Amino acid sequence: MSFRILGTGSALPERVVTNDDLSDFLDTSDEWIFTRTGIKERRICTEETLDDLAMEASRRALDMAGVAAGDLDLIVCSTTTGDHLVPAEACAIAEGLGASCAAFDVSGACAGFVLALDVADGFMVRGRASRVLVVAAEQMSRVLDWEDRATCVLFGDGAGAAVISVDEGQNPLAMSFSTTPDVASLNVPGISGTCPFRPANHAASTLSMDGRRVFRFGVGAICDAVKSLAGQAGVAVSHIDHFVFHQANERILSAAVKLLGVDDARVVRTLRSTGNISSACIPLALDSLVRSGELERGELVAVVGFGAGLDTGACLLRWEQ
């Protein structure tokens, strides 16, 4: 038993924040940011909530799939920046869509969407679901230190989704998950609360990152995952038609592409206009590829997510929509 992706969708906030906008209050410039990251602009939530974006992306995926919310058996959402500590973001999505199925979140940082796909696949294999909505929604702007030019220029907000169903084919052709345990390299401390029995001097819940460490990890994670997927599936890396990598930084993507020796034109890129949206990067990039008409039936798509943890999640799919 396997799954087929029936439809994809994505949503971004209305507010566009350019590099020039950031230079109004940071010691930076468009040239400094773009040459180091490949990012020109990102979308930032102002009036929208993350619930809003997640539901919009989900509706678009459901519309493409031709599936009603009431026919879903499960909703799995990947997020680390939800509108609620409780309930799960997936519960808010279910309520907004009018679904009545089981709904829960997974937390896998930037690899979270691939992890959520695997969780959904497990429910299908066990016969507990036949149609699943898999969502990734992130509001990274709420966990950034907006005085730290090394990190706040990298991230944006958004959501992506996919509707998958049970299929008798062989998808996924391969999957790969790994963790190189390292909490400090990319970390957002939890909220400290107001407990009177604990000291009050806790770190703020803002993101910190060891850029050099994450760079080295990201390049290695992409290369190792792609080779692992190709080996499991018994195909050459050169025979993979499209690569959907986590959109962390253009330097990471370029270095990995060079080491893998693949055609750069086969690598999907969205970060120029969205920045890094954590786990939402991959479904948003996949939706972009689908809606552009560039992805054809029968083609191979390698998907690789990597990030905090340090986690990696990857899968190889034969496109059958």
Residues in the chain: 321
Instruction: Give the whole-angstrom CA distance, residue 19 versus residue 139.
Output: 18
Between CA 183 and CA 273, with CA 258 as vertex, the angle to 5 degrees is 65
Residue 194's CB is within 10 A of a number of other CB atoms, namely: 7
Contacts (Cβ under 8 Å, ≥6 apart) of 186 = 109, 207, 208, 209, 210, 214, 307, 308, 309, 310
Is 201 a known active-site residue? no
Is 281 a known active-site residue? no
- Determine which one of 77, 101, 276, 315 is catalytic: 276
For the record, the structure tokens of 102 come out as: 């089981």
Kind of pairing between the strands at 131-139 and 174-182: unpaired
- Determine which one of 45, 77, 101, 110 is catalytic: 110
- Determine which one of 19, 101, 246, 281 is catalytic: 246
Instruction: Give the whole-angstrom CA distance, residue 184 versus residue 308.
Output: 9
Instruction: Give the whole-angstrom CA distance, residue 142 versus residue 10.
Output: 20
Is 246 a known active-site residue? yes
Instruction: Give the whole-angstrom CA distance, residue 272 versus residue 113.
Output: 21
DSSP state letters, 54-67: HHHHHHHHHHHHT-
| Pair 306, 220: CB distance under 8 Å | no
Which residues are known catalytic residues?
110, 246, 276
